[in-house]
Amino acid sequence: MKEKVTIIIFSNDLDKVLAAFNIAIGSVSMNMDVTMFFTFWGLNVIRKEKSIKKPLNWMKRMLGLLNRGGADRLKLSKFNMLGIGTSMMKKLMKKSNMPSIKELISLAKESGVKIIACNTTMEIMGISKQDLISEVDSIAGVATYLATAKESKINLFI
Amino acid sequence: MKEKVTIIIFSNDLDKVLAAFNIAIGSVSMNMDVTMFFTFWGLNVIRKEKSIKKPLNWMKRMLGLLNRGGADRLKLSKFNMLGIGTSMMKKLMKKSNMPSIKELISLAKESGVKIIACNTTMEIMGISKQDLISEVDSIAGVATYLATAKESKINLFI
Amino acid sequence: MKEKVTIIIFSNDLDKVLAAFNIAIGSVSMNMDVTMFFTFWGLNVIRKEKSIKKPLNWMKRMLGLLNRGGADRLKLSKFNMLGIGTSMMKKLMKKSNMPSIKELISLAKESGVKIIACNTTMEIMGISKQDLISEVDSIAGVATYLATAKESKINLFI
């Protein structure tokens, strides 16, 4: 039985998501089983850039205009400065040979990290399965999260 | 012996507090023992809407004017937009039959979640026992937190 | 074998860092082994106030101008209000005989808390060993973090 790591990704801040993937990929490379549970703003990380058009009430449509998906759209939690800070940080990451979030998602997926999307938030926000990237393993709720988390050596809320 | 879950609620962002209660209530429904430890801004979640008048120095009074208690006053961490975003999110939650924070507190309490208020923050901020809602089980410090947390299968800082 | 506590300090918000040190120092006083792993913005907490001058590219230099180190520079995550809120909170902390962050670092160090700086972030941000305060025990990466975290009773991401 491998040791387990379970991470809730609540945030879609570039910096925090970066930390989450570094821990996740580090854990699999140390032969641990990793589950990443994406909820609330974190769902944006595993959403396609373009949402599928569907009949939604005006509130979900407005929320969709503000709260856009796509791993390339993540911003720094500090010093975003209309995108300049975020863009500089991305360049600094590249200079240090650090992969982008998109590359980290692929890397995580390839190395066996399990990617779960939170169904409760999806319903509230009007996000459907087709809006999610193909790397998502499953859509599940808090019971699934808890079943894995209580068997995990490391639990984090990011 | 039931398995334990201990959650520090440091934040009073509507979205984060929502996540905390969903995990807490999910955990008790899976037959786990849950302790929620409210500290710093999180204390606002378990404060009455109206503070008891008491002799406080001017700094604590000013802080009290800015940092108001009450579960109905929580705001989204993103897209609050002078309250419009928060109000929309609350309506979307209602449409998805998701309870409000006030209802979640009652639900948590009824199902046996233990609600603890952090005494250190209470002192710094000039919050007294009478300012807290009746659902609070006890007022305690970091030692009480640690005693439960180290016996817990899941520990989160939200 | 002592029980272990491992805390990632990702944030440099005064309030969150305060919580992290209270938990850390509380844990050692309950005879537990504590590791604090400072990463991303959290690195600022364990940086000297004045950076060592060194040849950096313009992006790292610009980042250095915005993102300044030093435990005295931490701001509240809410109600900073151009420093007024933060300064008031510091005074309220003092009135409650709560130590400052600088004093908490010394206290933590004296009581045996292990202070680790994240090498990945240091490289991205152009922070070198000489920029860090003397209380830092070592510079390490995610593998070191995981090795300690998976043996810990309490893991937190702050």
DSSP letter string, C80-118: -GGGHHHHHHHHHHHHTTPPPHHHHHHHHHHTT-EEEEE
B150 forms beta bridges with: none
Q: Which residue of C15, C30, C95 is in closest CB contact with B146?
A: C30
* pLDDT at position B10: 98
10 Å Cβ neighbour count for A52? Answer: 11
Q: Hunting for tokens 């193909």 — which residue is that?
A: A134
C-beta separation of C125 from C68 below 8 A:
no
Q: What is the pLDDT of residues A15-69, one digit of tens each?
A: 999 999 999 999 999 999 999 999 999 999 999 998 777 878 888 888 888 889 9
Q: Which residue of C8, C40, C151 is in closest CB contact with A15?
A: C40
Residue A97 DSSP SS3: coil
Q: Which residues of B touch A123 (CB under 8 A)?
A: 96
* pLDDT at position A4: 98
Q: Which of A27-36, A55-64, A85-94, C84-93 has the highest mean pLDDT?
A: A27-36
Residue C20 has pLDDT above 90, yes or no: yes
A115 forms beta bridges with: A36
Q: Which of A67-81, B65-79, C134-148 has the highest mean pLDDT?
A: C134-148
Residue in chain B closest to C91 (alpha carbons) equals B59
DSSP A130: G
* pLDDT at position A51: 77
Please state, rounded to an integer, the average pLDDT across all residues of chain B.
Answer: 94
Q: What is the pLDDT of residues B19-58, one digit of tens each?
A: 999 999 999 999 999 999 999 999 999 999 987 778 788 8
CB contact under 8 A, A92 and C40: no
10 Å Cβ neighbour count for A84? Answer: 11
* pLDDT at position C13: 96
CB contact under 8 A, A26 and C123: no
More confident residue, C89 or A63: C89
Backbone angles phi, psi at A118, to 5 degrees: -80, 120
Q: Where along chain A do its domains lie?
A: 4-74+102-157
Please state, rounded to an integer, the average pLDDT across all residues of chain A.
Answer: 94
CB contact under 8 A, A19 and C39: yes
Residue B82 has pLDDT above 90, yes or no: no
* pLDDT at position A140: 98
* pLDDT at position A23: 98
More confident residue, A12 or C1: A12
C146, C148, C154, C156, best to mutate vs chain A, most A CBs in 10 Å:
C146
- In percent, the amount of chain C with pLDDT more than 70 equals 100
- Compute the nearest-CA separation of A103 from chain C (Å): 17
Tell me whether strands C138-140 and C114-118 are parallel, antiparallel or unpaired: parallel
Q: Which residues of B touch C13 (CB under 8 A)?
A: none
CB contact under 8 A, A155 and B158: no
Residue B104 DSSP SS3: helix
Q: Which residues of C touch A155 (CB under 8 A)?
A: 155
Q: Which residues of B touch A39 (CB under 8 A)?
A: 19
Length of chain C: 158
Q: Hunting for tokens 């998805």 — which residue is that?
A: B96
Q: Which residue of C27, C88, C155 is in closest CB contact with B155?
A: C155
Residue B16 has pLDDT above 90, yes or no: yes
* pLDDT at position A136: 98
Q: Which chains touch B (3 or more CB pairs under 8 A)?
A: A, C
Q: What is the mean pLDDT of residues B133-139?
A: 98
- Please choose, from the candidates C45, C23, C24, C15, the residue with its C-alpha nearest in 3D space to the C-alpha of residue B124: C15
Q: Which residue of A8, A66, A145 is in closest CB contact with B79?
A: A66
Q: What whole-number distance in Å separates Cα of residue B85 and Cα of residue C106? A: 43
CB contact under 8 A, A146 and B158: no
For residue C123, what are its two tokens?
């490289």
DSSP letter string, A27-54: HHHTT-EEEEEE-GGGGGGGB-SSPPP-
Q: What whole-number distance in Å separates Cα of residue B87 and Cα of residue A34? A: 36
B9, B104, B153, best to mutate vs chain A, most A CBs in 10 Å:
B153
Q: How confident is the model at residue A81 (pLDDT cuts 50, 70, 90)?
A: confident
C-beta separation of C10 from C158 below 8 A:
yes
> Containing H/E element for A122?
helix A119-125
Q: How confident is the model at residue C158 (pLDDT cuts 50, 70, 90)?
A: very high
DSSP letter string, B3-72: -EEEEEE---BHHHHHHHHHHHHHHHHTT-EEEEEE-GGGGGGGB-SSPPP----HHHHHHHHHS---GG
Cα angle B26, B32, B35 (rounded to 5 degrees) comes to 85
| Contact residues, C window 45-74, toward A, CB-based 8 Å cutoff | 57, 59-60, 62-63, 66-67
Residue B147 has pLDDT above 80, yes or no: yes
Strands in C114-118's sheet, in edge-to-edge order, are C138-140, C114-118, C33-38, C4-9, C154-157
Q: How confident is the model at residue A134 (pLDDT cuts 50, 70, 90)?
A: very high
Backbone angles phi, psi at A31, to 5 degrees: 70, 30
* pLDDT at position C79: 87
For residue C91, what are its two tokens?
């005074």
* CATH 3.20.20.80 applies to domain C4-74+102-157: no
Q: Which chains touch A (3 or more CB pairs under 8 A)?
A: B, C
- Compute the nearest-CA separation of C59 from chain A (Å): 7
* pLDDT at position A61: 84
C-beta separation of B13 from B74 below 8 A:
yes
CB contact under 8 A, B150 and C23: no
* pLDDT at position C81: 82
* pLDDT at position B61: 84
* pLDDT at position A157: 98
10 Å Cβ neighbour count for A87? Answer: 15
- In percent, the amount of chain A with pLDDT more than 90 equals 76
ipTM of the complex: 0.94
* pLDDT at position C2: 96
| Contact residues, A window 90-109, toward C, CB-based 8 Å cutoff | 91-93, 95-96, 98
* pLDDT at position B28: 98
Q: What whole-number distance in Å separates Cα of residue B69 and Cα of residue B73? A: 7
Residue B106 has pLDDT above 90, yes or no: yes
Q: How confident is the model at residue B129 (pLDDT cuts 50, 70, 90)?
A: very high
> Containing H/E element for A89?
helix A84-95
Q: Which residue of A26, A98, A156 is in closest CB contact with C142?
A: A26
Q: What whole-number distance in Å separates Cα of residue B16 and Cα of residue B28? A: 19
